[in-house]
Structure 1
Amino acid sequence: MAATATERKLLLDGEWVETGEWIDVASPYDGSVVARVAKAGAAETRAAVDAAERAMREPLPAHKRAEILVRVAGALGKRADEAARLVSAEAGKPLKAARVEVARAMSTYTMAAVEARKLAGEMVPMDASQAGEGKLAFTLRVPVGVVGAISPFNFPLNLVAHKIAPALAAGCAVVLKPASQTPLSALLLAELEHDAGLPPGWLSVLVGPSGEIGDVLVEDERVALITFTGSGSVGWGIRERAPRKRVNLELGNATPVIVEPDADVDDAAARCAANAFSFAGQSCISVQRIFVHEEVYDSFRDAFVPRVEALRLGDPADEETDVGPLISTAERDRVLAWIEEARAAGATILTGGTREGELIAPTVVERPPAETHLACDEAFGPVCTLQPYTTLDEAIALANGTRYGLQAGIFTSNLRAALAATRALEFGGVTVNEVPTFRADQMPYGGVKDSGNTREGPAWAVREMTEERLVVVQL
């Protein structure tokens, strides 16, 4: 049975355990302690890997894995309000956005259950060559092994779901390290997995220092794959330290949007305003850099800025709040410094740029110089930029002018322009007449360049978490 709401134990080898040390989980909005969580370290991580290895010696049939995943989705639906309020409390996410995250996590588990049921290899046409005559061959998809999963704070429920659900669908046991700022949602999912009948060892959830838990996951040869979502420096550092493992990285972005002169300007302005500031911009694909053709620049700006100013800033627990706090005061101060840097370099602050209590007012920065952070780095805060351009080639060059490549978007009614942009934009995904903040959980999601090296979405993640084994039979 799980611990109380204010004191959470860790799931380790099917048991809820204390360690004698605790981590306080504080509200980013007012600093109050939401709960305290048992603190794990290297010893608990090694025990979790031991348990995962033992568990995989007795594989779970695909139908049982699928049934467990479906039960988790159903149980999460029954506790949807509780889960949304937990996300809001620990992450400072506005409640309306937290409810969307819960619905998406349910979808992620449901899609993963589908993948568990249809996981299969393929036939090889052996008699296509003389050497293969008289032979039958096919491939199997087998689990890659123990998965070490490291998830970030910004989607503490759904990004955890994107780690756990595909791994279990693939037949892999998981050792999960959620962000220490937001571990409660992960522990709720662990509780649901446990109650759904997941046998001991198949999932352990450990909260504690990255240097202890992460080091074991990186160094232990029994961990075959690490799936990481977070900062580029940490992610690529893991990749360098574990060259013999599969290391799947989902990292950052400085998300661009191009608005062509033939676009529906009002629609583009409305979508960008809503998606540049959701969860205070703390999403890897939050709209950040908006490039608008000079012919419609003024009309876009005049439609966009009032919509930004209409967003409600405040307590994330309030059903009407659109923009809440950043995850920490350090992040708040960094974003304010980046805004001031752009202002000092000659940019114009069209709205926002100020603190309101502990919050940052939604901010629009016009024409930031190319060398400023806001023009090329990931802001991860409630701020976006506006800049005019003359030709589509210029806009594409501006959009590509960053080390990131996760998702980008273009608004246009010209099919030729749309297809040209999808080929020229150096990003893992391109949206047309939709903001690149859009993500459906069944689609392949991932980036290029410094944004990562893999694709998530259950169908794609399951492939990453399995090996292809060839079987040849002499007839």
Structure 2
Amino acid sequence: MFEHIKDENNNFKNLINGEWISSASGKFIDINSPLDNSLLGRVPAMTQEEVNIAIETAKEAQKKWRNITLNEKVEILYKSADILLENIDELSELMMMEIAKDRKSCRSEVSRTADLIRFTADSAKNLSGESIPGDSFPGAKNNKVSIVRREPLGVVLAISPFNYPINLSASKIAPALMVGNSVVLKPATQGSLSGLCLARIFEEAGVPKGVLNTVTGRGSEIGDYVTTHKGINFINFTGSTGIGARISKITSMVPLLMELGGKDAAIVLEDADLELTASNIVAGGYSYSGQRCTAVKRILVVDKVADKLIEKIKENMAKLTVGNPLEKDADVVPLISTKAADFVYGLIEEAKEKGADLVVGGKREGNLIYPTLIDNVTTDMRLAWEEPFGPVIPIIRVKDKDEAIEIANKSEYGLQGAVFTQNINDAFYIADKLEVGTVQINNKTERGPDNFPFLGVKSSGMGTQGIKYSLESMSRPKATIINLSIK
């Protein structure tokens, strides 16, 4: 099914106006596996001229797509979910090689994405307008009625990250299509092969030519160009806070939906169920090597129970599997790049130099950082504040819940937080004061289910995702006012 999206030399192509087109300039970007550095394929390093064609094509195609009936769109999305599952083996294998995620998690991502696509189609059926009588406002006459319906925005630029190349591409594409937009998908370079395969699935499912187009290339050459292009009407971005901030700065009068970085804190009070807490912290902090925006990235624990909690965490960490997912179903796998591993290891070393105590881990083999737990981290250490995007969790000891809240809220990030306690009043007290988009009570920080609202505040994002919320974000209300003649 994916044969004709690449040539005999394993050079992949981009989907433009219903055709799979190779690089016009003959320039490509190598995609190597983080697992063994093998060459998986090459993607076109598109020029600004090629990007312009993709966007203009999407703009023209959207004029027809917006008028396709809702039922037809639903059928296309349902079919794409079916095709996705039919190709779960090949996609999972590709993802594992391209982003170093274990096979089980790759399969889970594909099946979860199929569910997301179907639920998006179903949810779009329930999007409805309203009629508003004029005389419901004080002093207004009763001869006006406003008929409000939802309209598409136009061309949606979907920029997806490396860590969930199928799920976080589909979560942008599916709602955009259902409300009548066309889409230009720009996948992360590492993850672009998976993204191109997803585009092929939507094409096979019946998305008309030009309605979904893909662009690949170097950010230095086309990044600013595509985000500031006059043909783009909405940008849905998942990635680093630094790039998100740049997009926000250089764009003008274009609505943005952004999922950015996080420094999610697990706040542990003295009455917490420590078995439950430890298992959640380990699962939340180390799965896929912590390369998730919602990973547990620091523990703020009341000092009275810190030692007991550490022992429980160590017991759970001993059960983690570490290594190459080609060889075993590992929880902790090589990081996405040497640069990422250098950054994580640097945070660990700096904390140790400043007096933090290494409890577990701290070992590195190439891009593989072993699961690491560091105690007595203080607020003058980078690890207390910077997002590692790796398998390291710092422990910051606090005297009470108010100190935990204070430290949590000093972060530039505000994605999620977790509270572990058996006192419901304390749970809601902390949840009310945390400056985050979501608070988990007695559970690890995590995304989903996908129909829940998902958002970050401060440097963690802009706008609200989640299926219903994404549908609403990528459409707008339009009012038509009927003026009645009343005698």
TM-score, normalised relative to structure 2: 0.94
Matched, 1:57 2:63: yes
Residue in 2 that maps onto 1:15: 19
Name the counterpart of 2:47: 41
Q: Which moved more, 1:34-43 or 1:64-73?
A: 34-43
Whether the 8 Å CA contact 2:378–2:396 is kept in 1: the answer is no
Contact 2:156 2:176 in 1 (8 A): yes
Unmatched segments (≥5 aa) in structure 1: none
Structure 2 partner of 1:354? 363
1:232-253, Cα deviation, whole Å (9 max, x unpaired)? 1211111111121112221100
| 2:261–2:293 Cα contact (<8 Å) kept | yes
| Amino acid of the structure 2 residue aligned with 1:376 | W
Shift, 1:442, TM fit = 1.5
Say how many residue pairs are matched. Answer: 475
| Deviation by residue 1:218-237 (Cα, 9 ceiling, x = unmatched) | 22222111111111121111
Cα deviation, 1:401-448, whole Å, max 9, x if unaligned, reads 210000111111111011111110000111111111243212111100
Q: Specify whether residues 409 and 138 from structure 1 end up closer, same or farther in structure 2 by C-alpha distance, changes over 3 A only.
A: same
Matches within 5 A, 1:115-126: 115-126=123-134
- 1:96–1:319 contact (8 Å) kept in structure 2: no
- Greater shift after overlay, 17-26 or 445-454? 17-26
1:126 deviation in Å?
2.1
Of 239, 244, 247 in structure 1, the residue corresponding to residue 248 of structure 2 is 239
Gaps of 5+ in 2: none
Q: Which amino acid aligns with 2:5?
A: A
Alignment check: 8 A CA contact 2:160 2:239 kept: yes
TM-score of the two chains, using structure 1 as the length reference: 0.97
Question: For residues 16-45 of structure 1, what are the alpha-carbon distances to aligned partners after superposition, in whole Å with 9 as ceiling and x for unaligned?
Answer: 011122222111121111222233221111
Partner residue, 2:279 = 270
Distance 1:98 1:260 in 2: 35
Question: What per-residue deviation string (whole Å, max 9, x for no partner) do you get for residues 32-72 of structure 1?
Answer: 11222233221111001111111111122222222111111
Question: Counterparts of 1:262-411 in structure 2 under 5 Å?
Answer: 262-411=271-420
Q: 5 Å matches for 1:47-446?
A: 47-58=53-64, 59=66, 60-129=68-137, 130-446=139-455
The 3-state SS of whatever aligns with 2:455 is coil
Identify the residue that residue 2 of structure 1 maps to in structure 2.
5
Contact 1:167–1:462, Cα closer than 8 Å, also in 2: yes
Asked if 1 retains the 8 angstrom alpha-carbon contact of 2:266 and 2:298, the reply is: yes
Identity of counterpart residues, as a percentage? 37
User: 4+ residue runs of structure 1 moved beyond 4 angstroms?
Assistant: none
> Structure 1 residues 44 and 196 mapped into 2: Cα distance closer, same or farther (>3 Å)?
same
Query: 1:27 maps to which residue?
Result: 33
CA contact 1:137–1:473 (8 Å) conserved in 2:
yes
Structure 2 residue identity aligned to 1:93: K
User: In the aligned structure 2, how far is the partner of 1:101 from the partner of 1:89?
Assistant: 15
How far has the Cα of 1:118 moved from its partner? 2.2
* CA 358–447 in structure 1, closer or farther in 2 if over 3 Å, else same: closer
Partner-residue secondary structure (3-state), 1:131? coil
Given that 1:217 and 1:226 are in contact with CA atoms closer than 8 Å, whether structure 2 keeps it comes out as no
Are the aligned partners of 2:336 and 2:367 in contact in 1 as well (CA < 8 Å)? no
- Mapped to 2, the partners of 1:66 and 1:303 lie a distance apart of 48
In structure 1, give the amino acid aligned to 2:6: A
Other structure's SS at 1:217 match: helix
> Structure 2 vs 1, CA of residues 232 and 358 (structure 1 numbering), >3 Å: closer, same or farther?
closer
Contact 1:95 1:318 in 2 (8 A): no
SS for the counterpart of 1:284 is coil
* Secondary structure, counterpart of 1:36 in structure 2: strand
